[in-house]
Amino acid sequence: MKQIILAILFANFIGLVVAADEAAQRNCLSTREYITSLNYLREQKSLGLEEKSARNLADIVSKGCTGAAQRFIKTSNLLIQAELPSSLAISTAQELSGQSDQVADNFAQIFAKVYLEKFFDLPASEALRLARNLALLSERNPSKVLEDFTILSDFCLSRKGLDLPLTKCLALIEKVLPQGRDQEDSIAQAYIKLFEFLSGQEKGPKLATLKALEESTKTISYGPNSLENFTQAYLFAISPTGLGLSYMQAVDFAQKMAARTVKSVKKTP
């Protein structure tokens, strides 16, 4: 049942978000957003909001500029249909109303994928926590979040990829996805290439799966650009004309070089 309900809401939400992305945000239709959100709240008798509370909430939503009311309404409907408490649905919808259409889109799609039975089939509360962490709290470029989530989840669950249990895949995604916040390259693609280098490529160290996962997760914490530093350092370290190290010594050297991918800059007083 939840698949049917969410599939319909999900499709409607994405259609509106894509259309809203084309609108300029410099001139805000704040009055329209206020009226639209207030009318919605008045119609939702099941929420049990008093008129004063509805007006206060509509006032907050109107500060989110053009499109805020639709972000609020669609998020609220999505979460209420997933049978989350109305207060939690409303507070999350309010938070998303002030975000960009891209962030709201990411949230809706990630929530749907981790909640629906054919994907992760998480309880609604856990799906909400994960979607919020990845879409709202991550400092990654919003345009990369959903793409990386899809790539990494497919790789993690696929028999041709890692074929890990759902819980381990989710833990991996939560660790990897927020990394490299100042780097534009795909964190998911970099992670997969790094894992494949460590575990399967002829020139790599051919680590066991769990060890390769551990080393990949450690390295990718320095962002997607750490892939190049790590592989180049390993190949140089293992080469007789380079450093001539053992494969594990070469891995340690490569980790050291990868850790220097992002230079720390001290702020002057």
- What residues does each domain of the chain span? 2-100, 182-258
| pLDDT above 60 (res 6) | no
pLDDT of residue 208: 93
pLDDT of residue 179: 83
* Angle 237-198-130 from CA coordinates, rounded to 5°: 130
135-188 tens-digit pLDDT? 987 777 888 889 999 999 999 988 788 888 888 999 999 999 888 676 778 899
CA distances (Å), origin 269, targets 146, 220, 262, 263, 264: 38, 31, 22, 19, 16
Cα–Cα distance, 45 to 86 (Å, whole number): 11
pLDDT of residue 167: 87
98-103 average pLDDT score: 93
| pLDDT above 70 (res 108) | yes
Mean pLDDT for the chain overall: 86
pLDDT of residue 140: 77
Report the residue count for the chain.
269
Cα–Cα distance, 51 to 42 (Å, whole number): 8
Question: What DSSP assignment string belongs to the chain?
Answer: -HHHHHHHHHHHHHHHHHHHTTS-SSS--HHHHHHHHHHHHHH-GGG---HHHHHHHHHHHHTT-TTHHHHHHHHHHHHHHTT--HHHHHHHHHHHHTS-HHHHHHHHHHHHHHHSTTTT---HHHHHHHHHIIIII--S-HHHHHHHHHHHHHHHHSTTTT---HHHHHHHHHHHTT--TT--S-HHHHHHHHHHHHHT-TTS----HHHHHHHHHHHHTT-TTHHHHHHHHHHHHHSTTTT---HHHHHHHHHHHHTTSS---PPP-
250-267 average pLDDT score: 83
Task: Name the pLDDT band for 254 (thresholds 50, 70, 90).
Answer: very high
Task: Name the pLDDT band for 266 (thresholds 50, 70, 90).
Answer: low
113-125 average pLDDT score: 84
